[in-house]
Amino acid sequence: MQLAICTDVFADLSYTEMLDKVKSLGIDAVEMTAGGWGARKHCDTARLLENPAELKVFQEELEKRGMRIAALNTSCNPLWPSGTGEEYKKSMYACVDLAEKLGVTKIVAMAGLPAGNETDTTPNWITSTVSWPDFMAPAYEYQWKVTIAFWKEFAEYAKNHKIEQIAIEEFPGTMVWSAETMLKLREATDPIIGINLDPSHMMILGADPIAAARALKGCIYHVHGKDARIERGLADTNGILEPKPVTKSSDRVWNYVAVGCGKDLQWWKEFFSVLSMMGYHGDISLEMEDLTMSVEAGVNTSIDALRQTISQ
């Protein structure tokens, strides 16, 4: 396994400044947003597709530093029935086009979340039983129908443009938020679809990412190095569902934190050991979203923890 980094954490730096910063940290692989709702600060997909000269320079800056692209990220909600949803969808296809030109064979995405029926326009994440009220089951069935149809079509387009892996992040608030929902989508669509296993999202829902890794053997295509902490006292009182803004760290029942500030290093060693046993030997892409400390502190803390624990 090799350490990579999601570059949106350095969105205030230019492309070349970001590359130099990442290289100074001893990291040679980057995951950049090229579609969806990410910053896209370092990868202007439209310009790179329209201007071969800029694309050439973009690649040369990587090559002269001995760096590579671990994946292009296009996370968003393409299933939102709105103009914004349509723009997200277009950006995902453009990301595939750019990946082909760059020789990148893996993209990271999210499954998306439809509305509850054909006439609704608000995405609806169903987290309670569909047994009651009686309109819940048809809504859930409709959402899966829409989700599967989109991903069948997108997977076919990706394959035709030399993409080998679509790594879908199991993200709360989307149709794929667990090992079971990941396997459901994969089985209904195409084996090109696998998981971007982000352990932090499983942690905040009470799942065990290590057990999930075993269940997902053979379809783990990408891994985010990201930690979370369920806050003692608050979660005991209110449970783990948390709609408060992520900026309200002190009041939330859980928070994304630097690696090692949620689970200890022994846990992370076991996690990576099990990933290796399950056949995953790819990149571990640090995604630093800890708002309880500075970016510099969060990045350095996480890198230190990951270097002590990843299986190489």
CA 304 – CA 312 distance, rounded (Å):
15
Burial class (CB in 10 A: 0-12, 13-18, 19+), 139: middle
- CA–CA separation, 196 vs 87, rounded Å? 23
Give the per-residue pLDDT at 40. 87
Q: Could you tell me the CA-to-CA distances from 306 to 117, 198, 203, 212, 292 in Å, in that order? A: 43, 14, 17, 20, 19
User: What is the structure's pLDDT at 311?
Assistant: 86
pLDDT at 312: 79
Residues 6+ apart with CB under 8 A from 95: 34, 35, 36, 45, 72, 74, 107
| Phi, psi of 88, rounded to the nearest 5 degrees | -60, -45
CA distance 137 to 273: 39
Closest by CA to 36, choosing from 82, 101, 105, 85, is 85
Q: Which of 32, 25, 28 is nearest to 300 (CA)?
A: 25
pLDDT of residue 39: 77
Residue type at 92 in one-letter notation:
M
What is d(CA 272, CA 270) in angstroms, rounded to the nearest whole number? 6
pLDDT in tens, the chain (312 residues): 999 999 999 999 999 999 999 999 999 999 999 999 987 899 999 999 999 999 999 999 999 999 999 999 999 999 999 999 999 999 999 999 999 999 999 999 999 999 999 999 999 999 989 998 988 999 999 999 999 999 999 999 999 999 999 999 999 999 999 999 999 999 999 999 999 999 999 999 999 999 999 999 999 999 999 999 999 999 999 999 999 999 999 999 999 999 999 999 999 999 999 999 999 999 999 999 999 999 999 999 999 999 999 987
Taking the CB of residue 241, how many other CB atoms lie within 10 A of it?
Answer: 12
